[in-house]
Chain A
Amino acid sequence: MVCGVALSLAACAHLETSTEKGGVVTVSATPGAVGRAFAGRRLALIIGVNQVADERFRPLRFAHKDAFDLATVLQDRAYGNYDSVTVLTSPEQTTRDALRAAVSKLAAEATRPEDVVVLYVSAHGTLARDARGNLRRYLVSSDANFRKVSETALPIDELTSLLDASGSRRRVIVLATCHSGSGKSLLPSEVEAEIASMKGPMMRPLEEASRASIVLSASDWGETAREDETLQNDIYTHFLIEALSGTGDRNGDGAVTATEAHDYARRRTWVFSEGRQRPSAEILEVGADPVVLSGAIRRSGQPELYSYAPRLDGFTLRIDGETRTDLPGGVALPAGGHHVELTKGEEILLKDDLSLETGQRLDLEQLVERHEPSTAVSLIGGAFSFLDAKSRAEVLPPSASVGVSIRADHVLLKRVALEADFSAFGGSQTLQLATGGAIPFSYTSILAGGSALVSWDWKLISLWAGPRVAGLWVQRSFNLQAYQGNQSAFSITPGLHLGGAVRFTTHWELSVNLQTMLTVLTLDGKSQLLGFAGGWAGVGYRY
């Protein structure tokens, strides 16, 4: 790219002597200068709120220091080398409106996808119900009111929304706040009581996730972010600064990426706080393109394995038989062959031999997906019935069926599945004709079809729905004193398919499928449009 631009400029230079209108003006541009002009800039907005006007929020000791310490390392040419670092700490700079304006300005300045944008906040955080009754996280601005949080403080998700307006695809939000009601948080008593009544971990609200943003939190929901007297900083911030000072360069490529810095700070925070503070990360659509926060990539680094996917939280990554880290997080390894395992207790989610190359970054979630069973073969049993009473009485009563189905998940697209099924049913039934009398007969039916499904997958449960087409063949055999004979009919039946499965082990699942279909059946020489439906349950083996 750079060479191309330089060659273009050189070629244009031949027109220098032209006197024609619109001639090219010579400029001095070396390839290095052109490269720098097109390189992404590094912009940071750093916010520290020690004191809130409402004294019910007790003062923080190190929020300003956190901000200035981080600014120092980001401005340092040996480390951050940022083009612009803005620090806001005074009460008038950290009101809700001032913060909104500052974040909007930051978003407007970052115009290019390769620009790196860092928004750091060290302040009180709190939780409150918004006007719609949803529990949201708030950043306590200097003018926030303890009793009117939703009206006076700044919603955390608004920060990500404001940054979404920027042209950058490398956005990092670092929240050195917490929302647990202790440490750097203070909650109204009713919110405290509400949180106390919740069982299990609190759900992270979806609005936190922002396109192409990394949100790094000093503590997980419901945990406490702490300042520490000996460190003279917020604990997480202290180790984050340490990471950005070069020690966080896990793979040795010369740069500290956002995930490297977070992993470094996360582990040390966890150890330092003796497990009481567990920093978290929300990472979306960043892919293999690392967001470099400090330093520069000068060489190919060691290969890395990482995952920040919530579904892998708590799994342990073992490399060549040794425990290396708990997820979320990542490790750098020497290039070459490695035996990789992902385990949680007795459960082994992944076991694979990988050959890793220098500079390679491998997302463990993608690796797991490649190894996850994606095809299920099931034995199914169920029942089938026409929807209208007349057809049930005069064509075929509700009947049992057994069969087999095969479903391939993630076909072409992650949420697309294809399913094919074959079921047959037969036996004895009785027609109830309008002319009176019960007519015994035997029947055989075969239903074979396929469905294109959109699926929604959770850890143990999948649901799917989609269009379907099948062929239905029905044969009725009568062996009456006055009438003996076989009758058969075939038709193509389009319809809808709904279903779901519960995976009770890696390879076994219980599935339920409901299908409704339309068919045209000729009865006594007249074609009739009929609806029928079936429900099947099955046990499937996934491979």
Chain B
Amino acid sequence: MRAILPAVVCGLALSACGGLENEPLGYGLIRGALVGGSSSSTVSVYGSPDLIVSPDSTGHFSLRVPVGQMDVLALISSTAAARIPVQVPGGGVADLGTQIGAPPGVLELELKAPSHQALTKGSVKAEGTPLSIRLEEAGEWVFRLPVGCYQVQGSVPGLGTISTQGCAVEGHHSEIEFRFPEPDGSAGREGCAVTGCDPGYVCQASGACIL
């Protein structure tokens, strides 16, 4: 009997042809248009920053996403952004219509070393969004985000990683300071042995910099 069942199953499998697919039904489209955007505008799914698209020259966009409830982040310009809750049906379309956004909340970011370690490398990102800034790159140290609270993470090699919550309030600036603790020599927190020291300071074995 044990031998018969597999044989029957194999025979049936060999006789089968074609197949059904439910996989395409696990996805849907988010469609819409951004007004006042540019080629740098983005539309992404909050929590899945890889699901991102830029609008075409007319401002229209279409993004294929898994079925379900989600928030869509529309980062339209430096003066407009939107966070839109949406339900995406299987095989269907969630149409966001035309989005003009609202003034974003501005999170001003600052990294602080505990004892004059050199801050030449590192990054800050708003988790779940496509926004991130690297120390090596020139630019404004701000995140312009739609109204809401976000987990923001600052990371400097040798000093570690700090995560904190920042809430964007429409039209307002909020400051977020990442003050790293003294290094302790553990992996990722070697201190000045990795970062080096500000000019005039000498790196100590403890990872701290002194005059």
Contact = CB atoms under 8 A, between A and B. Distances in A.
Interface of A: 394-395, 431, 433, 435-437, 439, 474, 476, 478, 480-483, 485, 487-494, 518-525, 527, 529
23 contacts: A431-B25, A433-B26, A435-B25, A435-B26, A435-B66, A435-B67, A436-B68, A478-B24, A478-B25, A481-B93, A488-B20, A489-B16, A489-B17, A489-B18, A489-B19, A492-B12, A494-B8, A518-B8, A518-B12, A522-B19, A524-B23, A525-B19, A529-B12
Given A395-B20, A490-B18, A492-B15, A481 B92 contact: yes
Contacts of A431: 22, 25
Contacts of B92: 437, 480-482
A481 B12 contact: no
Contacts of B171: none
Contacts of A433: 22, 25-26, 67, 90
A518 B64 CA distance: 37
B17 A490 contact: yes
A439 B19 contact: no
A9 B27 CA distance: 97
B16 A523 contact: no
Contact of A436 (B13, B90, B91, B93): B90
B18 A488 contact: yes
Contacts of A525: 19, 21
B89 interface: yes
A374 B189 CA distance: 91
Contact of B15 (A435, A439, A482, A491): A491
B19 A482 contact: no
A394 B23 CA distance: 11
A527 B16 contact: yes
Interface string B124-144: 000000000000000000000
Interface of B: 8-9, 11-13, 15-29, 64, 66-68, 89-93
A482 B8 contact: no
A interface: dominant SS: strand
B68 A482 contact: no
A498 B42 CA distance: 62
A518 to B, nearest CB: 7
A482 B21 CA distance: 15
A436 B27 CA distance: 11
A290 B57 CA distance: 104
Contacts of A491: 12, 15-17
A522 B25 contact: no
Contacts of B26: 433, 435
Nearest to A491: B16
A488 B18 CA distance: 6
Contacts of B13: 520, 527
Given A431-B22, A524-B23, A529 B90 contact: no
A189 B19 CA distance: 74
Contacts of B16: 489-492, 519-522, 527
Contacts of B8: 494, 518
Contacts of A435: 25-26, 66-68, 90
A481 B15 contact: no
A476 B20 contact: yes
A483 B25 contact: yes
Contacts of B27: 482-483
A222 B210 CA distance: 123
Lowest 10 A-B CB distances belong to which pairs?
A: A522-B19, A480-B91, A492-B15, A483-B91, A491-B16, A520-B12, A489-B18, A481-B93, A437-B90, A482-B29
Given A518-B8, A529-B12, A482 B91 contact: yes
- Of the listed residues A476, A480, A482, the one surrounded by the most CB atoms of chain B closer than 10 A to its CB is A482
A521 B15 CA distance: 10
A433 B22 CA distance: 8
Nearest to B29: A482
Contacts of B9: 520, 529
A485 B91 CA distance: 11
A527 B12 CA distance: 10
A429 to B, nearest CB: 13
A444 to B, nearest CB: 13
Contacts of A521: 16, 19-20
A210 to B, nearest CB: 39
Nearest to B16: A491
Contacts of B17: 489-491
A523 B20 contact: yes
A437 B98 CA distance: 25
A64 B149 CA distance: 116
A282 to B, nearest CB: 43
Given A483-B25, A521-B16, 13 more contacts: A394-B22, A431-B22, A436-B68, A437-B90, A437-B92, A478-B24, A481-B29, A482-B64, A487-B20, A492-B11, A518-B8, A521-B20, A525-B19
A230 to B, nearest CB: 72
Nearest to B64: A482
B48 to A, nearest CB: 15
A487 B91 CA distance: 14
Contacts of A524: 19-23
A527 B11 CA distance: 12
Nearest to B68: A436
Nearest to A481: B93
Contacts of B89: 437
A485 B19 CA distance: 13
A488 B28 CA distance: 22
A485 B9 CA distance: 29
A482 B92 CA distance: 5
A482 B25 CA distance: 9
B21 to A, nearest CB: 6
A527 B16 CA distance: 9
A476 B19 CA distance: 10
Nearest to B12: A520
B1 to A, nearest CB: 15
